[in-house]
Amino acid sequence: MVTLEPMRWWHIDAIVPVEAQLFAPEPWSARAFWSELAQLQTRHYLVALDGTAVVGWAGLCDYPDEAFVQTMAVAPAHQRTGLGARLLAALLEEAARRGQRTVSLEVRADNEPAQRLYARHGFTRLGVRKGYYRGVDGWVMTRRA
């Protein structure tokens, strides 16, 4: 059974190699995760645990007038099992709990699986950042509750 729990510093070592695999050529470093977790007031990070193994994670930033999905990932062996949808739903719940009606995110223009996940949760494309990801466009997607 896969459970969702708050991300803690001791999960980072397990996350980094999977992050490198999923987000090459621009993965977050361990330092980036440490920095996110240090911002206690504005960040909400979750891990998906299968026993003690980290098989997914996601993070939200609570800006003054909107929330932003900072990152979202499911380990390859657990993809397409509904875990991405669970993580995203948990972030949207947290955004609502914090009184945020608008949630935004950025996704690569060529990342169709992620775009479909977001579209199924009510996100629509608001704009394009040309060449944002080393020459690949970034889509800004937004959801208003």
Ligand X SMILES: CC(C)(COP(=O)(O)OP(=O)(O)OC[C@H]1O[C@@H](n2cnc3c(N)ncnc32)[C@H](O)[C@@H]1OP(=O)(O)O)[C@@H](O)C(=O)NCCC(=O)NCCS
How far apart are CB 135 and ligand X at their closest, in Å? 17
Return d(Cα 130, Cα 109) in angstroms, integer: 10
Nearest residue to 108 via CA among 3, 11, 1, 24? 24
Show the binding pattern over residues 92-131: x = contacts ligand X (CB under 6 A), - = does not.
---------------x---xxxx-xx--x-----------
- Would you count residue 74 as binding ligand X (CB under 6 A)? yes
Which of 15, 52, 44, 8 minimizes the C-alpha distance to 30? Answer: 15
Q: Which of 12, 62, 67, 84 binds ligand X (CB under 6 A)?
A: 84
Q: Is 73 in the site for ligand X (CB under 6 A)?
A: yes
**Closest of 144, 4, 134 to residue 72, by C-alpha:** 4
Binding residues (CB under 6 A) for ligand X: these are: 22, 72-74, 79-85, 107, 111-114, 116-117, 120
